Amino acid sequence: MKSFQKVAALLVLALVASFAVQAQVKYPTKPIQVIVPAGPGGDTDLNCRIMAKYLEKELGQPVIIVNVNGAGGSLGSRKVKDSAPDGYTALFFHPSMFLNKLMGLVDYSFVDFENAGIAVMDNTNIFVVNATSPYKNLNDYISAAKAKPGKVRFATETGGFTHLQILAFQDATGADLNVVDVGSAAQKIVALLGKQVDAIGISYGIIKDYVASGKFRVIGVMSDVRNPMIPTIPTFKEQGVNMSFPKFFYYLFPKGTPQDIVGRFSDAIAKVAANPDAQAELNKFMVSAEYMTPAVANKYMLEQETTYFKYQNLMMNAKIEKEEVKK
């Protein structure tokens, strides 16, 4: 009798437990939109599409990429922020969101969202010069800048990640460059090819063919240690410039999205990051799939954001100095 009662109790328990599991919201039951606050064909868009390909398999529902370009990415991030917190709209973005806040373009940051974790790491933020230029390494560039203050050109996109990098660079080295806005990655490539600027800041993956064909030369990478995928490039730190700017890509959900949904999505990201095929595809563009759980990601992103805010004054006042000197 006792054993029968035990079995019966276990069965009931199992039944109740299965109901409990089913009582959890079924997710996903329809396609998920991932908003990419950048134009098609850029590195953000590409990384997201590669991730989406594999996420679909893990989640069992289509993952649809929606490009919402404009206003430095703030149009896209704002859209997700205002979306229904049902887990079917997500944001895929990178450090530029912090810069939007830094410049006063938006008044929110990643803490105003639910973090699903970091998915992709890009440690290939480099400075590149045209191969015909006399700068063989960072120090050549710095010396030239110091010899002719305000004359040596660096191309960036105002308010973008590379803008922050160049301000940090000037701060760390004392070099005084002519920082010009040329726009997106494609426009930076054109400007450098046409020798309209002396150096640009960009991700390696986009210009790897130019390096291979001998048109461009990379003079430094902003990572803590040399990137194994581009081992011949010395880091900034090696060359005496204490700068490190990883570009990390993360997924955010609107605030209020249920934790188990965010968790489910996050687990999917983790699985994709561990998938060798996904890794291989991303590695082709010199970025890597590196998963950070929401908790770890939040801590990491807070650290990074604090670093950026150190440069807020520089960013807002940079232009003023330039113009006044000219007058």
Partner 1 sequence: MLELFAAGFASVFTLASMFMITLGVFVGIIFGSIPGLTTTMAVALCLPLTFGMPPAIAMSLLMGLYIGGTSGGLISAILINIPGTPASVATCWDGHPMASRGEAGKALGAGVVFSFLGTLLSIVALVFIAPPLAEFALLFGPVEYFALALFALTMIGTLAGKQLAKGIVVGLLGLILAFVGMAPIDAFPRFTFGIHDLDGGFDILPALIGLFAVSEILSVAESDFALKKENVLTKFKMKGFGFSVKEFLGQMYNMFRSALIGIGIGILPGIGAGTSNIVAYSVAKSQDKHPEKYGTGCLDGVVASETSNNASIGGAMVPLLTLGVPGDTVTAMILGGLMIHGLTPGPLLFISNGVVVYGIFASLIIANFVMLIMEFFGIRVFAKLLSVPKHILLPVIFALCVVGAYGLNNRVFDVWVVMLFGVIGYVLNKLKFPTSPMILGIILGPMAETGFRRGMQMNEGNFWLFFTRPIGVFFFFATVFMIVFTAVGNVRNRRKEEARA
Partner 2 sequence: MKKKYWDLASGIVLFAFSIVLFVGAMNVKTLEVSTFGSGFFPKVVAVMLAFASLAIIFGGIKTARAEAEAEADKGNPRWKAVLATFAIMVAYAALMPFAGFMITTALYLFLQINILSEGRHRRPLLFVGVSLVTSVGIYYLFVKAFNLMLPAGILG
Binding-site ranges for partner 1 (CB under 8 A): 33, 35, 39-41, 45-46, 49-50, 53, 64, 66-72, 74-75, 78-79, 103-105, 150-151, 153, 158-159, 178-183, 186-187, 189-191, 193-194, 196-197, 206, 208-210, 212-213, 215, 284-285, 319, 322-323, 326
Nearer to partner 2, 296 or 325 (CB): 325
CA 324 to each of CA 39, 55, 167, 292, 319: distance values in angstroms, whole numbers, following the listed order: 35, 51, 18, 45, 9
In the sheet with 153-156, reading across from the earlier edge strand, the strands are 178-181, 153-156, 199-203, 125-130, 216-221
Is 1 a binding residue for partner 2 by CB under 8 A? The answer is no
Is 143 a binding residue for partner 2 by CB under 8 A? The answer is no
Is 215 a binding residue for partner 2 by CB under 8 A? The answer is no
Nearer to partner 1, 68 or 119 (CB): 68
Q: To the nearest whole angstrom, how small is the minimum distance from the Cβ of residue 16 to partner 2? A: 35
CA–CA separation, 314 vs 325, rounded Å?
16
Q: To the nearest whole angstrom, how small is the minimum distance from the Cβ of residue 209 to partner 1? A: 4
Q: To the nearest whole angstrom, how small is the minimum distance from the Cβ of residue 310 to partner 2? A: 19
**Residue where the block lists tokens 């991730």:** 51
- Please check whether residue 163 is in contact with residue 283, taking contact to mean a CB–CB distance below 8 angstroms: no
**Helices and strands of the chain, counted as H and E runs:** 12, 11
Per this entry, what is the length of the chain?
A: 327
| Cβ atoms within 10 Å, residue 67 | 17
Is 57 a binding residue for partner 2 by CB under 8 A? The answer is no
Work out what residue 316 binds among partner 2, partner 1, none; the CB cut-off runs from 5 to 8 Å by kind: partner 2
CA–CA separation, 35 vs 53, rounded Å?
15
Residues at the site binding partner 2, with contacts judged by CB under 8 A: 31, 33, 62, 64, 66, 158, 316, 318-320, 322-323
